[in-house]
Amino acid sequence: MSARIKEMVRVATARLGGEQAGAGGASSSSGFGRRESTARLGGAGTSFRRQPQPMAPTVRTVYCNDRDANAPVGYKGNSVSTTKYSILTFLPKGLFEQFRRVANLYFLMISILSTTPISPVHPVTNVVPLSLVLLVSLIKEAFEDWKRFQNDMSINNAHVDILQGQHWESTPWKRLQVGDIVRIKQDGYFPADLLFLSSTNPDGVCYIETANLDGETNLKIRKALEKTWDFVNPEKASGFKGEVQCEQPNNSLYTFTGNLIVDKQTIPLSPNQLLLRGCSLRNTVYIIGAVIFTGHETKVMMNSMNVPSKRSTLEKKLDKLILALFATLFSMCVIGAIGSGVFINEKYFYLGLRGHVEDQFNPKNRFVVTILTMFTLITLYSTIIPISLYVSIEMIKFIQCTQFINNDLHMYHAESDTPALARTSNLNEELGQVEYIFSDKTGTLTRNLMEFFKCSIGGEMYGTGITEIEKGGAERAGIKIDDDEGKRSASAVHEKGFNFDDARLMRGAWRNESNPEACKEFFRCLAICHTVLPEGEETLEKISYQAASPDEAALVAAAKNFGFFFYRRTPTTVMVRESHVERMGSIQDVPYEILNVLEFNSTRKRQSVVCRFPNGRLVLYCKGADNVVYERLADGNHDMKKTSREHLEQFGSAGLRTLCLAYRDLNREQYESWNEKFVQAKSSLRDRDKKLDEVAELIEKDLILIGCTAIEDKLQEGVPACIETLSAAGIKIWVLTGDKMETAINIAYGEASIYLDFLVNNDTKQFIISSETDAIRETEDRGDPVEIARVIKDSVKQSLKVFHEEARHSLISTPERNLALIIDGRCLMYALDPTLRVDLLGLSLICHSVVCCRVSPLQKAQVTSLVKKGARKITLSIGDGANDVSMIQAAHVGIGISGQEGMQAVMASDFAIAQFRFLTDLLLVHGRWSYLRLCKVITYFFYKNLTFTLTQFWFTFQTGFSGQRFYDDWFQSLYNVIFTALPVIIVGLFDKDVSASLSKRYPQLYKEGIRNSFFKWRVIAVWGFFAFYQSIVFFYFTAAASRHGHSSSGKILGLWDVSTMAFSCVVVTVNLRLLMACNSITRWHYISVAGSIVAWFVFIFIYSAIMTSFDRQENVYFVIYVLMSTFFFYLTILLVPIIALFGDLLYLSIQRWLFPYDYQIIQEQHRDEPHEYSRVQLPETSHLSPEEARSYMISMLPRESSKHTGFAFDSPGYESFFASQQGVGVPHKAWDVARRASMKQQKAGKS
Amino acid sequence: VVSVFFIVGVIFVPVGVVSLLAARDVVEIIDRYDEACVPGNMTNNKLAYIQNETISKVCIRNLTITKAMKQPIFVYYELDNFYQNHRRYVKSRNDAQLRDRRKANQTSACEPEKTTANGQPIVPCGLIAWSLFNDTYSFTRGSENLTVDKKDISWKSDREHKFGKDVYPSNFQNGALKGGATLEPTIPLSEQEDLIVWMRTAALPTFRKLYGRIYFDLKVNDTITVRLNNNYNTYSFGGKKKLVLSTATWLGGKNDFLGFAYLIVGGLCIFLAFAFTLLYFIKPRLVTFNSSLLQSAWKVISCVLDIHVTF
């Protein structure tokens, strides 16, 4: 193998690596680091399915183009199945899944119990509601699975060209086998993990898009081994006989080690030759590949794990409520059972208790009677557990998500065509109770639009601009700053990625500076040391840079503007058009040979390039985080280091992202010996990354500092206002900024305070815990790691204690003063130590805002779970990058910004929004409403079932505790599923206390959610009390009918007449009570409430008119007609509901009048605004006020049809791609839109 | 809210007044006779008295009319501590058998009164029918016989649909223990109205059942003589037996309860309406939204509580 190939492979890998730094490096950290972090954290209730990684044959051997040879191994086919069930397993497995829910299992047991003679009720009472609930759930499951199946089918039946003998044959994907040679055409998807053999492009490269894997839309280059370049046409390809030895299937997307043995030569393989299933081919006519992993063994499929499901705190509390209900049920049964044991007596001759009597009623064995009656009563009172509650909640939440959150135009970002997206539907109400927000900074609070803003070269600072943050700070300090664009100096240049104003460096003026050599190195470093790909015409104006991160692009753009125009990259060289180097005005194209690229990754936090100048000079250029670079500087030149560090701090305090540049001259021997080690490390099969890092350390030392760059990261639109609103809503915002993995930008420590300025307004008391103190630095200089750790820990401990005291004093003496804690990652590491955690938490909870800087993804997650678990507060994490994934998963609610850093965060999140400012709508409007609605639904369910069951309970006392049912079987079974089902769902969907705009105008309303005002035990107790009161009214008032009331013809009502009357009253009352609980009453409410009541009467009219021939008691035959022939019935049905509701009405009015909730005050204030909250608001029209018409119009415009969408990771995307291709009608997923947004960006970038 | 209370009040008070007036028109005479009909020498052993078939159960009661009663006058018997709604009792019947001659053998739920000792099905089977009430009443005013009309005392739907016209009692009360009344085997069940009334089980352990009607007007201070057969055993379980004579209005029987309930609720509503109106003038609603106050208060509280931290 020639050295040339080696070089090419290396460079291409480097390029790939560089891009991985963007998504790859980050995503591998999200894939694995995430796992690690959650595991270490003890997992926020999340557990990941670890893929089985067979240990035994550690090497997989694939014989290319030789099915027979592969046959003995028995590789799996390429057909995939993502369905949960098959036709045979659907019923047993589906039912099993359903009965894993406690409520369903409980009702199953009750149903079984009700088939025994001890049951007072016919089995129908419990079986009907249970089967209805199960039916609904199963239909939903079946529907979802059917969609999955259809998609699987369409995927499996997609066609791909496969080599058969000497020609291509179109074959369905599922027929594909390991070792097959396939041809993929342009824009086609790879059907399996392929070994890239050859392409139509010269140099054996091809371009792929990995959007389905990581959301990255920039193209990546893959390069075939030179050995296999020739196998382009079928004749040649058929002659290809190779043996691939590679790792066993695993889920690591960015690693691949293996060897290709062809013609007895062993050639190492890298990820660079692997084309992953799910990616698509771009800008290449076609490629030839050999199948290595198929079907479920592909990396993509092995990665498709389920997002760990989170349960909302409200639901957890609901479990407690259910437990309380069980306790109530149990005590009711005990009372009844004891009563029955005492009551039963032979003296009641009419009960026929003499002689042989079954156990249940045998007075001779009262104990058995008691026990059996216990079961009887459990069956009788089973309605106390609301069986349809969970199904109803699920439905409500699902509709809330799909109809309201996903369709809200307030959260629709028109520029990127991205609506909000609820990825899980079970956390809606959690959004209404968030108390702590943990926010990433870059890309979340800021735009991630990087602009080269300032720099420091050789100890000299350049760049005169003033950042937004400085402006803000100055304005607050009372200094007026002229922000007139016209007054900017003529030298100021502003283009994409470059916003720099200093004539001293522009147009070759740097030659006259004190240190032109340093400037030259600085610019060269910028122009050479990167992994950017130029695109488009090679002119200054038209070129565009494809970079993994905007930082890199900004740096290269800066070099361009300084006269070092990087315009072309070949696998081995970087072409730079240098101006003014030899003399002013001279322009020359200089090819720099790139010998090695030492990739960026999050542990290295730096990136180096070894290049050879045309004149043979060997230089290593390095750029990286300041601390990393400073550690590796050569001795001497202390002044410059010191001034540079000062500059770094200045940049940092201006809110700029900094990066240090350094270089090192190498001599030939030095390099050669090192390069050998490097090549060795590079071709090793095991621990390649680790070895490469070690080798890199060998050469990245004795660096000479050139200077540092400062890049401005612009704030997102509306962020300050949003933060202000959220603070007013009582939400505490913590900013957790990390090193940005992509470019190792070191967030300067001082920057934190800047963000505080808008986090908290004026007069903030800051507590700063930093590792950058003199004492620590001194210790660091001495260099003993144990000593350093001890010193830092002590100082952290000390400051935590002191600050805690101070904070409490300040809180008591001047409560209106805001407190802020700033801590850096290093100190945080010690502060998170179990011994100091409590102090940290205590202090940070008092503080109004907390900023943690330079924190690792793991620390982000740790901080999140510190608050989540330690303080038991509801937390929300928001971020956009892969480094936020762990934090997003650790928090109660994770929000991903569908921004520019790929889809990692979005895929891990529960909700995805396009902009930070949409958080206001998401939390204050949707979250609050969801919370309010869910609370209402749950408490109402609780109330209606308790009321219903308690009437039974009172009746039990009148029946000698025999467990006789009060209601007919069908009344009882349909009560929950028909007569009271729909209105509560309507309330769960449409109830709103105040309008969306008022919710945002009065963020204080949100505090009710934080305090959980609507689902406290007190609230439940009030409902419980009224359930108690009402049930007494129902039972005793209607029972009076039988005692004194009779028809005018003197006839007497019987048991079933009374119970039917009572049931009518219950249905009427319970439905009306719901209306009273509503804040906004729409016609849907009226329809559903009236409909439910009417449904009951229609039912009873029909039901009591028919007589079946079955052997059953015709208890309620004609009952309603008998009742309706009496006046008494009408008077009762008017009286009882009113008396029952009287208490509630009185309570509500007194509460509203004297102890109003905040929202009620707002309602009062705005009651005269007719269209605010009393208006009928439907999902289609609710969010459309006139001023939104414009954005509505935009959203209504026909959207460009999605050409390709998701593939793996996430089944929705997976589905829709093929669905759209095959014309299978899959409902439009909002996910597509998010993806389309990223496509759009890409297009915009290209054009 | 005020208006809701007011409207409810305005509607309820008149309804209450009307129904109360209606209830006031009803004249009701109640006579408890279970104690009184036991001969003096057997008051200590009522059970023996009632179970001894040789002792005559005839008992004479004199009732004085306190208020004029217009016909029809309804004759009820009222039982107490009689759990017609006991689970064992309620289910001990078979509707199919009652309805259909061909289903005489269907006695499934009728434990323990299913069949006779030799396996013949009892029609009507079950505890309810078996324990049929068997006291009888006849009334005289002076020498005038006040005939009791026992037609149409049951609900028409029961008579026509639940009890068959061609179903005749058989093997009824043939067992060792007699629960109550016997039935005339030649009369179809649909005409055995006492049975039909009895079998519409009551909701509460104290209940009345219609015995018959008297189509005579009774004047104040009339004395009527009731000649009753005190057959039914309520002594074993300590239940009371009462004879009730009552007139009825459009509303039914004597039912002060409903009227009072309406009046009270209506009155309360009107009162509350006024109270709230008054409150409105005295203490207007909170309309200022003092958030900063809340905020600082919250802060202090959370600090003072010194949030407990648990790991």
* pLDDT tens figures, A193-239: 888 888 887 777 888 877 666 555 566 778 888 878 888 887 777 87
Please compute the mean of the pLDDT values over residues A978-1001 and round it to a whole number. Answer: 85
The DSSP 8-state label assigned to residue A739 in this structure reads: -
Highest mean pLDDT among A65-79, A1048-1062, A1157-1171: A1048-1062
**B157 to A1121: CB separation less than 8 angstroms, yes or no:** yes
Is B255 in Cβ contact with A1128 (below 8 Å)? yes
Q: Does B205 touch chain A (CB under 8 A)?
A: yes
**pLDDT for A794 beyond 80:** yes
pLDDT in tens, A11-27: 333 333 333 333 333 33
Give the pair of three-digit tokens for residue A578. Answer: 């240098």
For residue range B248-304, what is the model confidence (pLDDT) as tens digits?
Answer: 888 777 777 888 888 999 999 889 888 888 877 776 554 443 333 444 444 444 444
In this structure, the number of other CB atoms found within 10 A of the CB of residue A1222 comes to 16
Residue A1139: its chain B contacts at CB < 8 A?
A: 261, 265
Contacts of B276 in chain A (CB under 8 A): 1149, 1153
Statement: residue A1202 has pLDDT above 70:
no
The predicted complex's ipTM stands at 0.90
pLDDT, position A2: 41
What is the structure's pLDDT at A946?
A: 93
pLDDT value of position A724: 75
Least confident of A488-497, A846-855, A890-899: A488-497
Assess whether A408 carries a catalytic annotation: no
* Percent of all residues in chain A with a pLDDT value above 90, rounded to a whole number: 7
Residue of A nearest to B96 (CA): A1111
Mean pLDDT, to the nearest integer, of A247-266?
Answer: 80
Rounded alpha-carbon distances, angstroms, from residue A1018 to A1012, B305, B309: 11, 20, 24
User: Distance (Å, rounded) from C-alpha A876 to C-alpha A424?
Assistant: 14
Give the pLDDT confidence score for residue A474 in this predicted structure.
58
Give the right CATH number for A176-303 from 1.10.3720.10, 1.25.40.10, 2.70.150.10, 3.60.70.12: 2.70.150.10
Mean pLDDT of A379-408: 85
Which residues on B lie below 8 Å from A1042 (Cβ)?
202-204, 207
Q: Does residue A329 register a pLDDT over 90?
A: yes
For testing contact with chain B, the best of A1052, A1057, A1147, A1157 (most B CBs within 10 A): A1052
Report the sign of the C-alpha dihedral through residues A956, A958, A960, A965, in that order: negative
pLDDT of residue A60: 82
Predicted structure pTM score: 0.76
The pLDDT score that the predictor gives to residue A470 is 63
For B291, other C-beta atoms within 10 Å of its C-beta total 16
pLDDT value for A1229:
33
Beta-carbon pairs below 8 A across chains A and B: 256
- State the Cα–Cα distance between residues A831 and A866, nearest whole angstrom: 11
The beta-carbon contacts of A146-151 under 8 Å, at least 24 apart in sequence, are: A147/A1215, A147/A1226, A148/A82, A148/A83, A148/A84, A148/A1211, A148/A1215, A149/A83, A150/A1219, A150/A1224, A150/A1226, A151/A82, A151/A1214, A151/A1215, A151/A1218, A151/A1219, A151/A1224, A151/A1226
User: What confidence tens digit (pLDDT) does each residue in A81-97 have?
Assistant: 777 778 888 888 888 87
Instruction: Give buried/exposed letters for A920-942 (b at 16+ CB in 10 A, else e).
Output: bbbbbbbbbbbbbbbbbbbbbbb
Fold of A401-444+719-924: Rossmann fold (3.40.50)
Average confidence (pLDDT) over A735-755: 44
Domain boundaries, chain A: 176-303, 305-385, 401-444+719-924, 446-481+491-714, 945-960+968-1010+1023-1166
**What pLDDT shows up at residue B54?**
84
- Candidate list A193, A214, A408, A440, residue with the active-site label: A440
Cis ω before B112 (30° cut-off from 0): yes
| Mutation target vs A (from B93, B204, B302; most A CBs, 10 A cutoff) | B204
The reply to whether B272 touches chain A by the CB within 8 Å rule is yes
Question: A446-481+491-714 falls under which CATH superfamily?
Answer: Calcium-transporting ATPase, cytoplasmic domain N (3.40.1110.10)
To the nearest 10°, report the CA torsion of A251, A252, A255, A260. Answer: 0
Between A972 and A1198, the higher pLDDT residue? A972
Residues of A in contact with B47 (CB under 8 A): none
Q: A1051 and B155 in contact by Cβ < 8 A?
A: yes
| Model confidence pLDDT, tens digit, residues A522-563 | 888 888 888 787 877 777 777 878 776 677 888 888 888 888
Q: Is A609 helix (H, G, I), strand (E, B) or coil?
A: strand
Does B95 contact A at CB distance below 8 Å? yes
Hey, is the C-beta of B31 within 8 angstroms of any chain A C-beta?
no
- The mean pLDDT of A396-415, rounded to a whole number, is 82
Q: Do A1135 and B300 touch (CB under 8 A)?
A: no
- Residues of B within 8 A of A815 (CB-CB) are 296, 299-300
Q: Is the dihedral of CA A671, A676, A677, A682 positive or negative?
A: positive
Which pLDDT value is given to residue A942?
92
Q: Which two tokens stand for residue A838?
A: 């409590």
Binding residues of A for Mg(2+): 440, 442, 880, 884
Residue B238 contacts A, CB cutoff 8 Å: yes
- pLDDT tens digits, residue range A304-323? 555 556 777 888 888 889 88
Q: For residue B261, how far is the Cα from the chain centroid?
A: 19
Q: Which residue has the higher pLDDT, A1227 or A338?
A: A338
| pLDDT of the residue at A750 | 35
Q: What angle do CA A764, A769, A775 make, to 5 degrees?
A: 130
Q: Helix A1055-1077 vs helix A1083-1103: angle between axes, to the nearest 10 degrees?
A: 170
- Residue A783 gets the label, from left (phi > 0), alpha (psi -120 to 50) or beta, of left
Q: What is the pLDDT of residue A492?
A: 63
pLDDT of residue B298: 45
Residue of B nearest to A1139 (CA): B265
Report how far Cα A596 is from the mean position of its chain's Cα atoms: 38
Q: Please, are residues A1203 and A1242 in contact by the beta-carbon 8 Å criterion?
A: no
pLDDT above 60 (res A388): yes
Cα–Cα distance, A138 to A151 (Å, whole number): 20
Contact state of B272 with A1146 under an 8 Å Cβ cutoff: yes
Whether the pLDDT of residue A761 is over 60: the answer is: no
Cβ–Cβ contact B117 with A under 8 A: no
